Structure 1
């Protein structure tokens, strides 16, 4: 590597990491920085995301090149999950958007990016900071590159740190990937990102988080905002979340929710969570037998319908809001695709599928789904009124270990190297 290499850390996010023979190891998630009492902060390593979205530590001493949009390593990567130490700061997650002030008293600014520079082999230091000055300050809203020694507050920042950079990073990610980013953030940064997401996006992300993280976020949100987020969640996910909240807080949220949405959640809360009633959503695709295939396909294309639920249309007599009129059967999406758009769904309905009862156990649900190779099953009451549907994704959530979201998929292809430096 050439001496005096300089890299802006904001450009490192998502950069692919390769071993010496060109095999991809992972991609850069963050940069680990150590602040010292004297001297420039040290950049000691990269947090890289490897197989199964697991994040591990790669010391910069194991990096041979950072150039041309890629990072080259010696090939040694520690397979142990990265655990941030109290002395470590994550540049992308914690420093960007940090509020700082100029040591000469010429005003305040916000950190937009910072550069790390190799002083000598494997000795990387934070050298310069790219800041946006306050509009009402002496610099009049200018963007400046200044030396790290010219600023106060870089190590600790000020209250009210925004999350602009983090929100930009997660804007195009899937909800599960956003949840991974949020999960690893300190509490204040986690709330800053959560607060910056719109209601629909936050609802999707909360559904992908573990119980502790989503309860923490919902408890810290303004009560009106929290109720709005619950309104746009799938009823089964909202019920799971409400069930984990303290009773008085849960009751207050239910009072602030849209009455119809709150009624669905209250109904789901009456069932044991490991039964068909506790697992079901009250908002699958439901049509009358007089609806057409064209209407069925249009319903399946709705953004708020999950892929697992979109594969099945549930046919019932009016009313079509759960609990519906008498359940008739289902129309499988694959069958509907083979029919003319004008065909009535009542003519192609599968009435042989045995529905679930609310008290059926999760084991019964899983076996039924597996036996008939289905992604969703109807749930009816004793009068055969449709109450909702259980989808395979909700069953898997309850059958997998509690920590499945944070466990790696596969560690077999990673080579053992060294631990956190």
Structure 2
């Protein structure tokens, strides 16, 4: 068996996991250790992300090789979703950025990486920490300088087992910087409550807004309520208006009013309008920020608009063509121009010349059932929502519909019934 005798966990994040015949099983997302009162923490397994964004537990006893940027398993991977037990600690999720104290009294340090070594018995023990010293005296100069780094035995520090309120999240986010918002949301969901808030707070507003949109409602409320009010308002501004409105629906009337007051007036205006509509109606589901263009706009400009990186794929499937003003509620709605049609026409032509005016619009009070039927009947990814004067109020996209027709716990319950009887072994 070819197993590297020492592994630095932060470098292991994202490493591909293969079965014995060379097929990729998934990627390493964390390492599970047992932190004991005495002795070095014992590493017991890997958290592996398999297709479908599912995280499963792979015992280190089933790892035959960790070498050259890959992990080889025996192929016997239990597909039951990983659930952290009370005595278990996640290295990336919980140990990195933790503040520890040197036993010799020489000060404090922050854990930046963890080294685990394979013993002759086959067990893996966390025996060394890569840490960065904290200055003992805080001065203007020390705030600008980063402390010295060093590798120390795990026995040389205390506090590894205790959660601290000052724990940061820089190293964890560095390890997960390549994750899509939905995948990072899964990571946050699996963390403990205090650690989840620490990590969420360390994200910038745009990244946190994207992640919040992918989290279960309870996690959204917990994180937003844990932020200071000004920061919470900034994050709501960065979210899609419909997602921000959905989240505010879960807060008390007092909290909602306070946050809306702190938001920029223009951003708050759209959210206030959405809050007026009932849940599970087209008005409650719609976003007020689809791509809206005038009929004279060239196809080249329209294609540039739907190439925007921040635009959800469903809303990039078409542009909505209206008379001015082009902010919702717009002037008279004229029709939609589909992405595929835009690709087939000359770039200098106007979008007004290729309109689909047959797409049946929705009224704000249209039920979720009607929205779903129309999307399915016309094979569309989005539908316009119009008021009685034929002005565009917004658009309902298929991803918003799916969020409302799937079970509330769909992010964490899929496929688990297939392996109810399985255990981690």
Give the structure-2-normalised TM-score: 0.93
Following superposition of structure 1 onto structure 2, how do residues 140-155 of structure 1 map, counting pairs within 5 Å?
A: 141-155=147-161
2:389 aligned partner: 383
- Structure-1 separation of matches of 2:174 and 2:362: 43
2:71 aligned partner: 71
Distance 1:203 1:85, change over 3 A: same
- Residue of structure 2 aligned with 1:159, choices 153, 165, 175: 165
2:249 aligned partner: 243
Following superposition of structure 1 onto structure 2, how do residues 12-411 of structure 1 map, counting pairs within 5 Å?
A: 12-136=12-136, 141-408=147-414
Distance 1:50 1:244, change over 3 A: same
How far off is 1:159 after superposition? 2.7
Unpaired runs of 5+ residues, structure 1, are none
- Structure-1 separation of matches of 2:249 and 2:232: 14
The answer as to whether partners of 1:163 and 1:192 remain within 8 angstroms in 2 is yes
- Indicate the structure whose relative CO is greater, using CA pairs within 8 Å and at least 6 residues apart: 1
Partner of 1:43, secondary structure, is: strand
The answer as to whether partners of 1:51 and 1:410 remain within 8 angstroms in 2 is no
Note the alpha carbon deviations across 1:77-102, whole angstroms, 9 max, x for none: 22222111111111111111111111
- Structure-2 separation of matches of 1:10 and 1:186: 20
The answer as to whether partners of 1:294 and 1:342 remain within 8 angstroms in 2 is yes
RMSD: 2.2
The answer as to whether partners of 2:4 and 2:65 remain within 8 angstroms in 1 is no
- Structure-2 separation of matches of 1:325 and 1:19: 59
Give the structure-1-normalised TM-score: 0.94
Kindly tell me the number of residue pairs found equivalent between the two proteins.
418
Unpaired runs of 5+ residues, structure 2, are none
How far off is 1:409 after superposition? 5.9
- Structure-1 separation of matches of 2:423 and 2:49: 16
- Structure-2 separation of matches of 1:4 and 1:402: 43
The answer as to whether partners of 1:76 and 1:417 remain within 8 angstroms in 2 is no
Partner of 2:79, secondary structure, is: coil
Distance 1:3 1:254, change over 3 A: closer
The answer as to whether partners of 1:52 and 1:409 remain within 8 angstroms in 2 is no
Partner of 1:289, secondary structure, is: coil
